[in-house]
Amino acid sequence: MTTGIYVTSTAEASGKKVVCLGLAEMLLSRVDRVGYFRPVTSTESTEDDPMLKLIRRRFGLSEGQARGAVGATEFAELLSAGNREAIAERCLAVYNDIAANSDVVLVEGSDLAEFDVSIENEFNQNLANDLGTPVVAVVNGKHKSVDETAGQVDAVRRDLLDAGCQVFAIIVSRVNAAKVPELEKRVHLGASKRPVYFIPEIPELKWPSVSEVKAQTGAEYVAGPGDFNRDVKSMKVAAMTVDNFIDQIEDGTFVVSPGDRLDIMFATLASSLSSGFPTPSALLLTGQFPLSEKQQRLLSGAQFPVLSLPYDTYEAAERISQVRTDIGTSTDRKIATALGVWDANIDADEIAARITLPRPSTMTPLRFTYTLVERARSRRAHIVLPEGNDVRILSAAENLHRRDVVTLTLLGNEDEIRGLATQEGIDITGIDIIDPETSPLRREFAQEYARIRAHKGVTEDAAFETMLDVSYFGTMMVHTGRVGGMVSGAAHTTAHTIRPSFEIIKTRPGTAIVSSVFLMCLADRVLVYGDCAVNPDPNAEQLADIAVASAATAEMFGIEPRVAMLSYSTGTSGHGQSVDKVREATELVKAKHPQLNVDGPIQYDAASNPTIGGSKLPGSSVAGNATVFVFPDLDTGNNTYKAVQQSSGALALGPVLQGLNKPVNDLSRGCTVEDVINTIVITAIQAGQ
């Protein structure tokens, strides 16, 4: 039987969407099939609801898995006509359709500001009873005293119980963090014996983006970068002299200026281009003042978007002040912030333990990456990122910092890094930055490096110069234990990234070579491919070492190792230099590690397909069930992982380096922000081991 959870709120802007987003990610990490149901959407068309679009996009749900029942206008008409039964019947029909193909359905109750709160609460309570789903009630704790909040929790619980609802939990959102300890003493479980959780107010979640301002006001794009995903932290109307105006703006200020105030226009532009001065989130020009060709050319070099509205400044400012942000239309950084505050304050394991959830039969990419993030968060490893002047690195660092997954240090010139972050609308507040050129650690690291490389004739003066290289400086941070691991390679070659590791960190005892694997996240399982990035043509001993290291990496990430030593021939059917190498490597693994489940030589189809495996290599526990695939050379491995990735849409995490004493991982120079995030998370887990 499908389980359902009904999330409802008692007031507008309660933080309900943050709760829904957190619950959706938690559920999708634990079961195979999750449905998302919006009984009443916030839009006229059920297909245009921002939250449904976000859930579909973020979690890969189809329109059939995430659906709405009634649009806002139709809901109002039916309710006004007293036809509540028609609404309930429609909702039951859609819910049952979703439930038929789901293990659990998350229901997000209505939140229509134009309705009386009591009417809407009654609708949500009745529908939760009709659907037979327990209720998670979200209470808005903003601007409320401890007494008021405790009283509201008791009132909400009492109303739900009086309505015959099953109370699953109450979540007080947007509460002053300083009040939480006292609230935890004052708020009791009550007759329902269900817990109360507290989520503090996070100002960033209420900042609209430039994109939302543009969409909701109808502003037109004039010049500057077309990146509208910048947070609008405040709005300033330029109605004063330039000297006074400059003192008023800060990073993230949305500047509103009459279109004929050239002094304000150019002062705003100069501020963003000058070191030590703030960069606005955008400049909006009001009135219908056409820009000259020279003005257009000058504004084209702006570090922020320039927009325009045809209204006077007062009306334009009034329209902007009415813009509302919504998680469904927000930026990735805001979603990361929302999930971070959820993870930090909600006991997901406790919630999951009280829901009847079927054991998942598959491992999806979403579930695997979620599991990795949770493991990394539990370890709180410290990772250094040498490429602090790369926008992808900064974006990934912001995301992980907002989610409180790892502690990060960026390397590079602090003014340049913070200037780049501000220019790109990235917030790296709270992330440590070290400049190797000025850091007192440089001399200490030089002395240690000279000691390590004395046999190569490296002097301390030479080592002091070497420490200007961020890859060497970062590696020394790992070597000396100041950080747990390093991730680099977005702007450097693989050799540049890992050469310092060979010189300084060196290989783990008993390990012959450094190798790599990719964690291949297919639709229903995760496989390990090695070596696809480092060793061009390993010999039998090296291939055996790669197999053992790959099996250990698989275990580290929760994958039971069943190792297939791949070749163009299966069993004893073929001979030749390549297949003989694989056969010898297989025997070496079996002799040195008899507990390891390994077989080979074996072809890929026989290793992955149970029917073919049973035919080609009967009696093998690896054939048809392999989880670790060891390729005979780099040519085969690199091409195979890319072929599988491109043809199946698999998520390839890596390369994950293995065999070093401490974790250092290499990025592709074509990596995405998501690649950087995943690699940092993997490195954090390795550091925790």
The pTM of this model reads 0.82
Question: In angstroms, rounded to a whole number, what is the distance separating the alpha carbons of residues 216 and 326?
Answer: 12
| Separation of alpha carbons 72 and 47, rounded Å | 12
State the Cα–Cα distance between residues 627 and 562, nearest whole angstrom: 5
Domain boundaries, the chain: 3-203+330-353, 208-324, 365-504, 515-659
- If one looks up domain 365-504 in CATH, what number appears? 3.40.50.10950
pLDDT score recorded for residue 477: 98
Q: How many Cβ atoms sit within 10 Å of the Cβ of residue 355?
A: 17
The whole-number average pLDDT for the span 39-59 is 88
Q: Band of the pLDDT at 431, cuts 50, 70, 90?
A: very high
The CATH number, out of the four listed (3.30.70.260, 3.40.50.150, 3.40.50.2300, 3.40.50.300), of the domain defined by the range 3-203+330-353: 3.40.50.300
Q: The tokens 């809901």 sit on which residue?
A: 75
pLDDT at residue 299, rounded to an integer: 86
Q: What is the pLDDT of residues 9-26, one digit of tens each?
A: 877 778 899 999 999 999
Whether residue 192 is predicted with pLDDT greater than 60 in this model: the reply is: no
Residue whose C-alpha is closest to residue 321's, from 174, 238, 208, 201: 208
Taking only the tens place, the pLDDT of each residue in 442-475 is 999 999 999 999 999 999 999 999 999 999 999 9
The stretch 169-175 carries a mean pLDDT of 92
Asked if domains 3-203+330-353 and 365-504 share a fold, the reply is yes
Residue 191, pLDDT above cutoff 60: no
Is residue 380 exposed (0-12), middle (13-18) or buried (19+ Cβ within 10 Å)?
middle
Domain 515-659 belongs to what architecture? 3-Layer(aba) Sandwich (3.40)
- Here the contacts of 567-576 (C-beta below 8 Å, separation 24 or greater) are 567/600, 567/601, 567/602, 567/603, 567/632, 568/603, 569/601, 569/603, 570/601, 570/602, 570/603, 570/606, 570/616, 570/617, 571/601, 571/602, 571/616, 571/617, 574/601
Residue 190 clears pLDDT 80, i.e. is over it: no
pLDDT one-digit tens code per residue, 70-79:
988 888 888 8
Could you please state the CATH topology (level 3) that the domain comprising 208-324 is classified under. 3.40.1390
